[in-house]
């Protein structure tokens, strides 16, 4: 017990957070679309607005396709939060959009998404941070666009390979 107190005091006095010492529930993913970033941004913002309130939380036994809040939009960086409807945890989400070379389809957009739990002790999240982002893209039907690709892995996206985005 004395060791635990001493470690806690040491961390406190040096400004090191216990949360910095643990793995943290988060996800980084990259998507490409065969459309311009204007098209992707429009779809993304429309979906955030559609899922901003609690109404969609009630469809089905559990549904987290709700409670998104737009924090800022500069045109190439979109910041938002997502609140889980059952436990009310908050995740911070950032999408960074970069236009690529023009294609026959009219453009190419690369989107780098990051979602991170605000809760310092969140370690495993059942893929929630991944689903926070993927559900918006799918809801906006962006995953159906020509040229759609996704790149991520469990090493940069907590529990990506077992994520169930119909639930989270």
- For position 102, what pLDDT does the model report? 67
Under the banding of pLDDT at 50, 70 and 90, the label for residue 104 is low
State the pLDDT at residue 69.
98
Beta carbons of 83 and 67 less than 8 angstroms apart: yes
Mean pLDDT of 144-150: 94
Tens-digit pLDDT profile for residues 43-100: 999 999 999 998 888 766 678 899 999 999 999 999 999 999 888 999 999 999 999 8
Q: Which residues, other chains included, contact 110 with Cβ-Cβ below 8 Å and sequence gap of 6+?
A: 30, 31, 32, 97, 98, 100
Q: 23-162 sits in which CATH class?
A: alpha beta
Cβ neighbors of 120 (< 8 A, separation 6 or more) are: 17, 18, 19, 22, 24
pLDDT of residue 9: 44
Residue 81, beta-bridge partner list = 69, 92
Between vectors from CA 99 to CA 93 and to CA 100, what angle results, nearest 5°?
125
Domain ranges of the chain: 23-162
Please check the confidence at residue 118 and state whether its pLDDT lies above 80.
Answer: yes
Q: What percent of the chain has pLDDT over 70?
A: 81
Residue 131 has phi, psi (to 5 degrees) of: -65, -30
CA atoms within a 13 Å half-sphere pointing along the CA-CB vector of 132? 36
Predicted local distance difference test score (pLDDT) of residue 124: 76
**What value does the mean pLDDT take over residues 127-140?**
96
In this structure, what are the phi and psi dihedrals at residue 2, rounded to the nearest 5 degrees?
-60, -40
């Amino acid at each position: 017990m004395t060791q635990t107190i001493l470690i806690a005091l040491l961390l406190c006095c040096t400004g090191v957070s216990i949360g910095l010492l643990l793995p943290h529930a988060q996800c980084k993913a990259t998507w490409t679309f065969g459309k311009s970033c204007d098209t992707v941004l429009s779809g993304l913002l429309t979906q955030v607005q559609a899922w901003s309130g609690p109404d969609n939380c009630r469809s089905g036994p559990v549904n987290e396709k709700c409670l998104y809040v737009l924090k800022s939009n500069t045109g190439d960086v979109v910041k938002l939060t997502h609140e889980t409807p059952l436990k009310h945890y908050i995740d911070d989400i950032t999408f960074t959009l970069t236009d690529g070379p023009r294609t026959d389809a009219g453009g190419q957009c690369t989107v780098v998404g990051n979602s991170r739990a605000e809760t310092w002790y969140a370690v495993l999240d059942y893929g929630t941070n991944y689903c926070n982002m993927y559900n918006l893209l799918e809801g906006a039907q962006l995953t159906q666009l020509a040229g759609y690709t996704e790149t991520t892995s469990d090493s940069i996206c907590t529990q990506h390979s077992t994520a169930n985005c119909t639930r989270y």
